[in-house]
Amino acid sequence: MAEDIRQFVEFKLSDEEYGIDILQVKTIERMMPITRVPKTPDFVEGVINLRGEIVPVIDLKKRFDLPPGEVTDSTRIIIASIDDITVGMIVDAATEVIQLSQDDIEPAPPIIGGIDANYLDGVGKIDGRLLILLNVAKLLKPQEINQLAQM
C-alpha cells in the first residue's frame, strides 16, 4: 500500500544519520554567508538571503548540544517549513531521499544519540542501519518560532 510509505531527506550530523519528512523540506542549499543577528539564542547562526527571502538559520549541532564541526564542501543548509515560517538548518551533509514503510519506523526511545525524544519522530530501520527521524515542528519552542518569525 502506497499510503504507509513515507519519504525522508537523509542527512548527517557528526557520525549519525538523521531524516526529516520530505514534505517539510523546501530546498537544500550549499553553505552560504550567514549574517549574525544580535540577541538570538546560541543555536541561531543568523539569517541568509535566499532568492530575496530572509531566512533564519539554525545550527542543529548547537541545538542538540553536539560537538561543533568544520564547514566543508559537503555542508548544507536544509530549508524547511516550521509552523508557517521558513527556517534553514545547517547539517554536515544531505545524502539522499529514502523511503520507509510505517513497519520500518519504531517509536523513539527517551534519549537517542544524546537527543531528547521530544525532537524525534521515531527511528527508521533501513538496510541494517538506524536513521534518527526528527520532528521538525518540535525543533523550536513557540517563543523561539515567534522570535525567528520577526527576523
Which residue segments constitute the domains of the chain, with CATH numbers given?
5-149 (2.40.50.180)
- Mean pLDDT (whole number) for 97-101: 94
pLDDT tier for residue 111 given thresholds of 50, 70 and 90: low
- Residue 141 pLDDT level (bands cut at 50, 70, 90): confident
For residue 128, give every residue at least 6 positions away whose Cβ sits within 8 Å of its Cβ, in sequence order, or none: none
What pLDDT score was predicted for residue 1?
A: 45
pLDDT tens readout for residues 66-98: 898 899 999 999 999 887 889 999 999 999 999
Confidence label for 144 from pLDDT (cuts 50, 70 and 90):
confident
pLDDT at 48 over 80: yes
Report the pLDDT averaged over residues 62-67. Answer: 88
* Mean pLDDT within 93-113: 86
Mean pLDDT of the chain: 88
